[in-house]
Amino acid sequence: MGRLSPLQPATFLGRMGVARADITPPAGIHSRAWGAAAHDTASGIHQPLTTTALAILSDDGPPRLIVGADICWISDVADFVRFREAIAAAAGMPGQIENVLLAVSHTHSAPPLDRSRANAPGGDLLAPYMEAMRDAFAEVTAAAIANAVPAQLVVETGSCHLAVNRDLPYDDADHYACGFHPGAPTDTTLLVGRITERGTGRILGTLVNYACHPTTLAWENTLISPDYVGTMREVVEGMTASAPCLFIQGASGELSARECH
């Protein structure tokens, strides 16, 4: 497959607002997100988990919401729909979930939202945590809408070499080892969007879209963490007067972190 040509910078004008809420679970919650893990529950917190919302408002239509969240995965489609319904309702458009993008970061150091694990160690904490998360989605949505001002979003492309292809074939093409395949191509595409207030130039937020499993802490880690996504946000926000950075996971597939610790 040939390389895609870099996109030209794109600009969008509208009323936009950004907000953030905490979704850090309690220590002791079920957090086994690795097949190789020897633990079932989280022993503590490395970095907080958060949800960040971008509200895009229109004078002649419903709002559009992009909500990023430090979640490993959501097993049940019904729960995924319930989360989006909560966001839509908080935005004043009950049932219109087609206007809501809920982007899961896929950090492997967060609890898998899987109700079938209720009887696993720490599994009794999953359902209450999911209810609290639903409330947080509604809260952050309302806050993002309340924060909306005339703004512009400028998106540009770059390149990042954190990800590598993790599927190394052996014996024959039907068997793979999960590690590092140095001969396979890697998508290095990085999309970055900056949201600024029109008139003042004040940075309201940053969007980052990149494809790579958040696995730098590997399977022996027992602490809750957003993984590299959290550290990336700290760096970006430290350079943008603490304006929230919203991460959107790309089509990571076989792309995993070059280094694990």
Task: Provide the token pair at 167.
Answer: 């599927």
Q: How far apart are CA 42 and CA 201, in angstroms?
A: 42
What phi, psi does 17 have (nearest 5°)? -140, 150
Task: Provide the token pair at 127.
Answer: 């359902």
Q: Residue 101: in which H helix or E strand, if any?
A: strand 100-104
How many Cβ atoms sit within 10 Å of the Cβ of residue 187?
21
Bridge pairing between strands 10-22 and 149-159: antiparallel
Check if the beta carbon of residue 207 is closer than 8 Å to that of residue 249. no
Residues 6+ apart with CB under 8 A from 209: 190, 191, 192, 247, 248, 249, 250
**The whole model's pTM is what?**
0.91
The pLDDT assigned to 181 comes to 66
The pLDDT assigned to 213 comes to 92
Q: Which parts of the chain fold into alpha helices (H)? A: 77-90, 126-146, 228-238
- Half-sphere CA count of 29, side-chain side, radius 13 A: 24
Estimate the crossing angle of helix 77-90 against helix 126-146, to 10 degrees.
30
Q: How far apart are CA 219 and CA 202, in angstroms?
A: 40
* Selection from 147, 244, 258 nearest residue 212 by Cα: 258
Query: Consecutive sets of 10 residues in the chain, 261 residues long: mean pLDDT of each?
Result: 58 96 97 86 97 95 97 96 99 98 97 95 98 98 98 94 74 63 80 97 98 90 96 98 97 81 60
The pLDDT assigned to 180 comes to 65
